Chain A
Amino acid sequence: MRMLINVPETVVADALRGIAAAHPDLTVDVENRLVVRRDAPVAGKVGLVSGGGSGHEPLHAGFVGPGMLSAACPGEVFTSPVPDQMVRAAAAVDSGAGVLFVVKNYTGDVLNFDMAAELAEDEGVRVARVLVDDDVAVADSTFTAGRRGTGATLFVEKIAGALADEGAPLEQVEAVARRVNESSRSFGVALGAVTTPAKGSPTFVLPPGELELGIGIHGEPGRERRPMMTSGEIADVVVQAVLDDLRPTGPVLALVNGMGATPLLELYGFNAEVQRVLSERRVPVARTLVGNYVTSLDMAGCSVTLCQADEEMLRLWDAPVQTPALRWGR
C-alpha cells in the first residue's frame, strides 16, 4: 500500500486538521468531527447540514460556507457519521429558523440522520430532511435499499444553500431541495477500483481492458462489466442512461464529475462527448460544471448528473457561493 497517510485510524482527523489550517473561515472541530462556517449561526437563516462517509472530498466539508452548507459532518471513510455529530452541527447552525438535513440515500446515512433529527428536535431545533436519490444505475428499487444519492447532492446543496442565504423559511428551502433532487439523475462508470486506507488493497479487481458500469461512490462494483470503450462510447451509454430516466423537456444543469483518480484532461475530453450526446438528443445545457466534486478516494472514472432546471433553480445556481471547493460571484 502506498498512501499519503500516517495510520488508517487517523486519516479523517488528520484531514480535518489540514482543512482547518487551509480554511480559516471555517470552524473545524477535529475531536467531534464537525466543519462549520465561522459566522454560524446566521440570524434568521435556515441552517443547512449535510454529511456522510469521508473519502468523497470535496463533498461535504468542501461545500461549507456562504451560499451553500452551514455545516458538514464527516464520518469515517465510506461510513456514515454518527448522530452525535449531526446533533452538534444542528445546534451550532440553528438560529431559530430551523435546520435542513441533506441526506444521501444509503442505509447508514438515513438511519443516523433519522436518529439525529429526533434528538435535535428533543433539544428544540426544528429539523426537516431531504433525501437525495439520483442514481439511475440502481435498477429496481423494490429489491434494493433504493436509489443511491450521488452527484445530485452538489446541486441540492448549492441551490438550497442559496435560497437559505436569501432568508427563505425552512419549508421553502426544503421544498426547493426536494424539487432539485426530483429533477436530477446520475450514472457512474469506474475505470479502476478503490483502495480504502483500512483495507489497503483494491476493493475489487478490474482487469485491464475492462470497465464497470453503474457504480456508486463507495468502491463497490457496479451493475455490469464491459470491455473498455472510448470516451465517446462511454458518454453515449452514460448520458443515454440518464436521459432515459429523466426525460428532460427543458434546459439542464450538467455535472461531469471525476471519481478522484481521473485527470481533468480526460474529464474535459469526456465533457466534450457528453455535450455532443446532449446536443444530438436536443437537450439544451444551461450550465456545466466539470471536476472532482463527489469522489470515491482513488477510483478512476466519472459520473454524469443532469438536473432539469427551472428559472428559480438557475437563479439560485448562479447566486454567489464561497466555499473551499466551489466559489463564484463574490
Chain B
Amino acid sequence: MLDTDFFRRWMTATATAVDREADRLTDLDSAIGDADHGSNMRRGFGAVTDVLEKESPGSPGAVLVLAGRHLISTVGGASGPLYGTLLRGTGKALGDAAEVSWEQLTEAFGAGVAAVARLGGAKAGDKTMLDALLPAVEALGTSAEAARDAALAGALATVPLPARKGRASYLGERSVGHQDPGAASAALLVAALAEAARTDEGGRA
C-alpha cells in the first residue's frame, strides 16, 4: 500500500527533477514557445516543496490536492492550471483514504489525466503533455518503471509532430523537429513517481 509519505516523496522528487532540468525545459520551450517553462515549473514545485514542509496533509489525496492548488497559485501560464488540475484531479479521485493501493493510484491518475484533457481540450498527438501522460496511464498498471519509460518515449515521440495546442501551435509545421516542453516535464513527473516507488517497499517497483 502507498501511504502519505510516498506521495510527499513523489512531489519532492518531482521538485528536485524539475529544478535539475529547468534549463533544459526552458531551452525546449525557447525553440517552440516562449522560453519560460523551466523557470515557471521550478517556481511552482519550489512552492509545493515549501508548503509540504509547512503543512502536514494527512492523506495521499490531501498531499496531491494541496500540491495542485499551489501550482495553480504560483506557476501561471498554461502549465499552472494544467498541472494543478492533474494533481488536484488525481488527489480528489483518491479520496481521503490513509493508504491507497497501486491499482487505486493508477485509476486516480487516469482520472487526473482525463481532467487535464478536458481542461486543455487536447488529445493524443497534439504535441502536448498528454502525449507523455496518456501512455504513462496505460503502463502504470504494469509497473512504475513501465510508466516512466512510456512517458519518456511519449515525450520523445512529440519531436516529429506539428503542435496543435498551446503557444507552439502558432508555429504550425515549424514546430516539427522539437520536443514538446510540457511532455518533457510530464515525463519528469512520472519518472519521479517511479523514483518514489523504488524507495518504497510497498510499491510495485
Contacts and interface: CB of A to CB of B under 8 A. Distances in A.
Interface of A: 8, 53, 75-84, 106-108, 111-112, 115, 138-139, 143-145, 148, 196, 198-199, 203-204, 216, 218-221, 223
Nearest to B128: A107
Interface residues of B, number: 34
A82 B126 CA distance: 25
Nearest to A145: B169
Interface in B57-79: 72-79
A198 B40 CA distance: 10
B39 A8 contact: yes
Contact of A203 (B30, B73, B162, B166): B30
A281 B180 CA distance: 42
B136 interface: no
A112 B174 CA distance: 27
A76 B43 CA distance: 11
B167 A82 contact: no
Interface string B11-35: 0000000000000001000101111
Contact of A144 (B39, B119, B120, B170): B170
B171 interface: yes
Interface of B: 26, 30, 32-36, 38-40, 43, 72-82, 119-120, 162, 164-167, 169-172, 174
Nearest to A148: B170
- Is chain B's binding surface mostly helix, strand, loop or mixed? helix
A220 B172 contact: no
Nearest to B75: A82
B37 to A, nearest CB: 9
A79 B35 CA distance: 10
B80 A218 contact: no
Contact of B76 (A75, A138, A196, A219): A75
Name which of A83, A112, A144, A196 has the most chain B CB atoms within 10 A of its CB.
A144
B18 to A, nearest CB: 14
Chain A interface, DSSP helix/strand/loop, else mixed = loop
Contacts of B170: 138, 144-145, 148, 216, 220
Contact of A221 (B40, B43, B82, B174): B174
A203 B169 CA distance: 16
A35 B184 CA distance: 35
A82 B72 contact: yes
A111 B78 contact: yes
B35 A112 contact: no
Given A8-B39, A79-B40, A80-B80, A139 B172 contact: yes
Contacts of B82: 111
B34 A78 contact: yes
